[in-house]
Amino acid sequence: MSEFMKKQSVGAYFNVIAAILGIVGIIAACVCSSMTVTYALGNLGIIIVQGVLGIVLACAAVVLPNIFGNHDICSTIAVCVSIAMFTAAFGQVLSERILLIAGLFSYDSVNTVGWQVFYVTVVSIAAFIIGALLMIIGAFTRSVKER
């Protein structure tokens, strides 16, 4: 295990942080969906599946360069699909909450439960977007140190 960690470079760490942010995004989506029955996410299952696929592929993007080398086709595909899954999960959360957000910022600004749901939703959205951005940054860096 220590030999594996010694071989990792900056790109691998970006991918690991992106996977952790994917976990945070899934947990925040589950929390905002279960706060009240009124604001439950209708597509929570899809969000969880997309988040888990993004996490698994981000972890694959850490492991595959150790086998095939930096910037191989398998890890490149894993990174691209992981970015797509995190972005799709972000889109699913946003599309479910767009009417809540519009209502809170226009006519229903005293809805305290709505604001609580909104704040947790923002955490979920931010985690998925930042995870996707870190995957993009990690795609342009080396994942394994070259000797």
Q: What is the pTM of this model?
A: 0.89
Mean pLDDT on 91-111: 88
Q: Identify how many contiguous H helices and E strands the chain contains and give both numbers.
A: 5, 0
* Whether 28 contacts 124, CB under 8 Å: yes
- What's the pLDDT tens digit per position in 29-66? 999 999 888 888 889 999 999 999 999 999 998 888 87
pLDDT number for residue 24: 96
Residue 31 DSSP SS3: helix
What confidence category does residue 18 fall into, taking pLDDT thresholds of 50, 70 and 90?
Answer: very high
Q: What is the 3-state secondary structure (H, E, C) of 62-113?
A: HHHHHHHCCCCHHHHHHHHHHHHHHHHHHHHHHHHHHHHHHHHCCCCCCCHH
Q: Where are the domains of the chain?
A: 7-139
